[in-house]
Chains A and B, each alone.
Chain A
Amino acid sequence: MAIATAAPPIDVVRTADGTPLKARLRQTERVRNTAAFGLILPLLAFTLVFFFFPIFSMLVQSFENKEIPANFPRAIVALKSWGGQGLPGEDAYAALAYDLKHGYDNKTVPRAAVRLNYEIAQFRSMVLASARKAANLQTGPYKEAMIGIDARWGEREYWAVLKRNSSTVTDHYFLNALDLERNVDQEIVKKAEDRRIYISVLFRTFWISLFVTILCLLLGYPVAYLLATQPARISNLLMIFVLLPFWTSLLVRTVAWVVLLQQQGLLNDLMIALGLIKERVLLVFNRPGLLIAMTHVLLPFMILPIYSVMKGIDPQYMRAAKSLGASPALAFATIYIPLTFPGIGAGVLLVFILAIGYYITPELVGGGGDQMISHFIAIYTSELVNWGQGSALAVILLAAVLALYAIYARFFKLSQI
């Protein structure tokens, strides 16, 4: 044993000065890694502060539920023992009256009232009025007093909302974004038909994006092929035409489409002059106009990735296919197109992801029935100031994008060339 401890382990490789090789290697690499980290540090800090932090807070907002627990602490405690059947007991009413009074003095009632209003219409005015009146309540029994202030406090539905929001976390926004809600018995149910909006908006967003993507692919693929196969002089010129839209503001391009497509616009003038149509047609502020404008705006994002892949395809492959007996059409279908799959995948992914998040173009050239999910996110964040709901919709959009990317990454890692 003494010998075993005295002899150094044989398997440690050492450098000339006796330091273990591994330690030395780590040391050398640490210096290099630190230098590399120093180079990306500014960008990392920038992204953390202006990108990851907002996204994180958006995620939090979509399920955060501060307002109600903050204003109704006692009522929430009192409701713990309430099973949800019939009306809660006197202690819950007393706690409610106290919380309303207290909240009225501390001015926390309005925010909680707004939040409650998301769940039942008119809840806000009911709470505000009740708080004002409850401030004058001195003694019980509070149950009668509260029902006297507003008869709705005698309805189970309103208490169910308070109980459901006793936690600081809520699924309300996500359920709402999927046209679901919790009923008085706290079960998740579909909303009444006339109050369902978002599922159809999600589907509409998906279909418009899919349609635009397919249109971009059909229009972009031949152009990319031309760009990749023409001599440099011609392809450079073509490339400028493809890139030209990039150098113009999106807003300008979109408005230009309004000018072109409107009823008194240039396209209508042209078609009348050519005798193609007799009556002027509305090509903007509706679905066709939206599809035209979005396809035009997104086309370069389809052409460029496909072009870059095509540029790298050795013309030898097509020659080989022909020498082996494939007609030009067969060679194109069985060799060339499969070789461009990575480009098609990248272009489709890019255009689709950009399309499902599109906002300005649908806003300007789409009609009321063409608004996509971003429109609703914008309305919730800037007009209705319901950030929770806006965030939940945004999270759903983000999840859709990430899911698409995951599918793409999985599919194209396998067939990467």
Chain B
Amino acid sequence: MPKESDSIVQFIKVQKSYDGETFAVKSLDLEMHRGEFLTLLGPSGSGKTTCLLMLAGFEMATHGEIILNGQSINNVPAHKRNIGMVFQNYALFPHKTVEGNIAYPLMCRRVPKQEIKERVKKALEMVRLAGYENRLPRQLSGGQQQRVAIARALVFNPQLVLMDEPLGALDRQLREQMQYEIRRLHENLGVSVVYVTHDQGESLIMSDRIAVLNLGIIEQLASPTELYDKPENAFVAQFIGENNKYIGEVVSVNGGACQVRLPNGDMVQALAVNIGPVGSKTTLSMRPESIVITPTDGRCQNVYESKVLELIFHGDHLRARLKVCGNEEFIVKVPKKALGAQSLAVGATVRVGWTVEDCRALDAPAA
């Protein structure tokens, strides 16, 4: 557990409602460590942007407390919070030059002119835009504008930087490049970052920890590896990465494992992660890459006959859509090497299997 001084942001039982009838944020408890890259991930309407706006000071929490650096900031106006923010559409001031934009937070803090000039220069070098001082934002490409926005949010050395889907407006190649660049800046500067995105791939690449939000609550808060390998509920399993899923009934529980009956009658051995008592519904989840084609005896506890319905070539791997235990949307990722001499053909019957550890029994879907 991190010590008190180690945490930079705390949300304590925070609730937010816009209309007085529904909650945008139902109940949020969150502790963020100093120097951490924390991502709020969730579909639209999950409350992630609301959390960010409350942290930035543009929205007031309806209930609960937000603590920054050990002090409650509920009543501190946005401009006194000393939090840098990068907006989705950059929000560069169109009437100011690049230099004017980056100098703005320093001007607000009455930094001497000479020092402003030096710090702007350094900030521009940091985002690799030296020499662009006198351009206007509209003379820059989307990626350059975003880098100016980042420089502007960092130049006044804020304790915390918020990023609201900053890469949403960029094309794919540029987005990937910027992901690494933001990551590199974070590592070099050691600044704490709260990053909001709906792109799970992006969150896995960039974050130290990810908070998966849905309908105003945190479904799971964990590191990317843990989140991917060990999702704790059906929503997280479904939202992050690809996922084969079954809905079945718990037949027996045996320590960490359980037996689940699928709708077609097949029995599956699964890891009991988040299940109710015997007789209750559960969601089974397994990753496409953890399925083994023609397993050697004894390696997998679950082995079934399946029929190949579709094969899609992906360069480094092959994706096969199979019919397994009555599910026609069962996806298996097969690395080319692992396929070896054996070949799959549409219509062929193959045996597939998976281990207990790779099959997680999670909560039942909401009715």
A residues in contact (CB < 8 Å) with B = 314, 316-317, 319-328, 330-331, 334-335, 338-339, 341, 415, 417
CB-contact partner of B104 in A319, A324, A327, A415, under 8 A: A324
Give the residue name and chain of the B residue nearest to A319 (CB): B58
Question: Is B235 positioned at the interface, with any CB of A under 8 Å from its CB?
Answer: no
Are B156's CB and A325's CB within 8 A?
yes
Question: Is B274 positioned at the interface, with any CB of A under 8 Å from its CB?
Answer: no
Are B87's CB and A322's CB within 8 A?
no
Q: List 26 A-B contacts (CB under 8 A).
A: A316-B89, A316-B91, A317-B93, A320-B87, A320-B92, A321-B93, A322-B58, A322-B78, A323-B153, A324-B79, A324-B84, A324-B104, A324-B105, A325-B82, A325-B108, A326-B79, A326-B104, A326-B108, A327-B79, A328-B77, A328-B79, A334-B107, A339-B94, A341-B95, A417-B94, A417-B138
Q: How far is the CA of A112 from the CA of B162 in the complex (A)?
A: 83
Are A324's CB and B58's CB within 8 A?
no
Q: What DSSP secondary structure best describes chain A's contact surface?
A: helix
CB-contact partner of A316 in B84, B87, B107, B156, under 8 A: B87
Min CB distance A394 to B, Å, is 38
Cβ < 8 Å to A, chain B residues 277-293? none
Question: Is B83 positioned at the interface, with any CB of A under 8 Å from its CB?
Answer: yes
Q: How far is the CA of A335 from the CA of B92 in the complex (A)?
A: 11
Cβ < 8 Å to A, chain B residues 96-111? 104-105, 107-109
Are A415's CB and B79's CB within 8 A?
no
Of A323, A324, A325, A330, most buried by chain B (CB within 10 Å of CB) is A324
Cβ < 8 Å to A, chain B residues 204-227? none
Give the residue name and chain of the B residue nearest to A318 (CB): B91
Cβ < 8 Å to A, chain B residues 153-167? 153, 156, 162
Q: How far is the CA of A319 from the CA of B105 in the complex (A)?
A: 13
Question: Is B152 positioned at the interface, with any CB of A under 8 Å from its CB?
Answer: yes
Report chain B residues within 8 Å CB of A325.
Answer: 79-80, 82, 105, 108-109, 156
Cβ < 8 Å to A, chain B residues 286-337? none
CB-contact partner of A417 in B56, B77, B95, B153, under 8 A: B95
Give the residue name and chain of the A residue nearest to B79 (CB): A322
Min CB distance B57 to A, Å, is 8
Question: Is B85 positioned at the interface, with any CB of A under 8 Å from its CB?
Answer: yes
Are B95's CB and A324's CB within 8 A?
no
Q: How far is the CA of A324 from the CA of B109 in the complex (A)?
A: 9
CB-contact partner of B83 in A314, A323, A335, A415, under 8 A: A323
Cβ < 8 Å to A, chain B residues 136-163? 138, 152-153, 156, 162
Are A320's CB and B85's CB within 8 A?
yes
Min CB distance A226 to B, Å, is 21
Q: How far is the CA of A317 from the CA of B94 in the complex (A)?
A: 9
Q: How far is the CA of A334 from the CA of B95 in the complex (A)?
A: 10
Q: A323-B79, A326-B79 are in contact. List 19 more A-B contacts (CB 8 A).
A: A314-B89, A314-B91, A316-B87, A316-B89, A319-B58, A320-B91, A321-B93, A322-B57, A323-B56, A323-B78, A323-B81, A324-B79, A324-B104, A324-B105, A324-B152, A324-B156, A326-B108, A328-B79, A417-B138
Q: How far is the CA of A316 from the CA of B56 in the complex (A)?
A: 13
Report chain A residues within 8 Å CB of B108.
Answer: 324-327, 330
Q: How far is the CA of A326 from the CA of B93 in the complex (A)?
A: 13
Give the residue name and chain of the B residue nearest to A326 (CB): B108
Q: How far is the CA of A328 from the CA of B104 in the complex (A)?
A: 14
Report chain A residues within 8 Å CB of B94.
Answer: 339, 417
Give the residue name and chain of the A residue nearest to B102 (CB): A324
Are B95's CB and A319's CB within 8 A?
no
Q: How far is the CA of A328 from the CA of B58 in the complex (A)?
A: 12
Q: How far is the CA of A325 from the CA of B85 in the complex (A)?
A: 11
Report chain B residues within 8 Å CB of A339.
Answer: 93-95
CB-contact partner of B85 in A323, A341, A417, under 8 A: A323
Q: How far is the CA of A361 from the CA of B57 in the complex (A)?
A: 51
Cβ < 8 Å to A, chain B residues 63-93? 77-85, 87, 89, 91-93
Q: How far is the CA of A338 from the CA of B104 in the complex (A)?
A: 14
Report chain A residues within 8 Å CB of B162.
Answer: 323
Are B87's CB and A319's CB within 8 A?
yes
Min CB distance A332 to B, Å, is 12
Report chain B residues within 8 Å CB of A334.
Answer: 104, 107
Report chain B residues within 8 Å CB of A331.
Answer: 79
Q: How far is the CA of A341 from the CA of B96 in the complex (A)?
A: 13
Give the residue name and chain of the A residue nearest to B56 (CB): A323
Report chain A residues within 8 Å CB of B82.
Answer: 325
Q: How far is the CA of A415 from the CA of B77 in the complex (A)?
A: 32
Min CB distance A104 to B, Å, is 71
Of B85, B95, B109, B156, most buried by chain A (CB within 10 Å of CB) is B95
Report chain B residues within 8 Å CB of A317.
Answer: 91, 93
Report chain B residues within 8 Å CB of A327.
Answer: 79, 108
Q: A323-B83, A325-B82 are in contact. Are A335 and B109 (CB under 8 A)?
A: no
Report chain B residues within 8 Å CB of A321.
Answer: 93, 104
Report chain A residues within 8 Å CB of B95.
Answer: 338-339, 341, 415, 417
Of A314, A334, A415, most buried by chain B (CB within 10 Å of CB) is A334
Q: How far is the CA of A324 from the CA of B105 in the complex (A)?
A: 5
Report chain A residues within 8 Å CB of B80.
Answer: 325
Give the residue name and chain of the B residue nearest to A341 (CB): B95
Q: How far is the CA of A62 from the CA of B82 in the complex (A)?
A: 66
Give the residue name and chain of the B residue nearest to A415 (CB): B95
Report chain B residues within 8 Å CB of A328.
Answer: 77, 79
Report chain A residues within 8 Å CB of B105.
Answer: 324-325
Q: How far is the CA of A393 from the CA of B87 in the complex (A)?
A: 55
Q: How far is the CA of A316 from the CA of B84 in the complex (A)?
A: 14
Of A319, A327, A338, most buried by chain B (CB within 10 Å of CB) is A319
Min CB distance B199 to A, Å, is 21
Q: How far is the CA of A397 from the CA of B316 in the complex (A)?
A: 77
Report chain A residues within 8 Å CB of B153.
Answer: 323-324
Report chain A residues within 8 Å CB of B89.
Answer: 314, 316
Min CB distance B185 to A, Å, is 18
Give the residue name and chain of the A residue nearest to B88 (CB): A316
Q: How far is the CA of A321 from the CA of B156 in the complex (A)?
A: 13
Min CB distance B308 to A, Å, is 49
